[in-house]
Amino acid sequence: MSNLFSYVIVALLAFIGTKAFDMLEISGKEQVAHDLTHESVIKSAETSVENLKKPGMEECFSSTEVEVLKNLKIRREQLDIRERNIEEKERVLGTMNTEALYAVRQIEDTTKRVEKILKEYQDKKDAQILRLVKIYEGMKPQEAARIFEELNWDILLSVVQYMKESKLSAILAAMNPSKATSLTIALSNKGDIKSLN
């Protein structure tokens, strides 16, 4: 059944195309057509519809053929509108894609700048801690122990985790036993002693 329908459509298009070409000959216009593609049939139909406006030309086509030609012209106009809409959407999408790529680059650049600033801050902080480490390692263990007992825990932990083990053990031995015990527990919870030397 669908094959029969396909044959009828092809035959109708061929017939319409033939009538359209006959119409062109009648109006004195010559056109060479190598195939009856969908595009050429629609264009021929448009020409035929235009020729229908000329006096005496309507009787060359039956009312059904005229209706089909008019419908083909309407369909062509709809397809042209749809094509323009698609082209516009593609243009908008292209613009959006360009803007999105630009935004991604901006975010990447900002991320790199923030990472650089954070690294510089951390490097400065580490340098300050290393200076303190050198100061305390250069002191006598009893003097360093007295200062350690008064320091804030966060600062104390930051300093002692970078100290050489031999220097730290001498200071811990000189500290108040309860404070030394608390410091040892805090160091074990924080992790291994680091070495930046």
What is the 3-state secondary structure of 20-72? HHHHHHHCCCCCCCCCCCHHHHHHHHHHHHHHHCCCCCHHHCCHHHHHHHHHH
119's enclosing H/E stretch is: helix 63-138
Confidence of residue 193 (pLDDT cuts 50, 70, 90): very low
Integer CA distances (angstroms), 174 to 67, 69, 142, 143, in order: 109, 107, 5, 9
35-39, 64-68, 139-143 — which is least confidently predicted?
35-39
> Is residue 26's pLDDT more than 50?
no
Higher pLDDT, 38 or 66: 66
Residue spans of the domains in the chain: they are 2-98, 139-190
Q: Which residue has the tokens 């074990």?
A: 188
> Is residue 117's pLDDT more than 90?
yes
User: Is 0.85 topped by the overall pTM?
Assistant: no
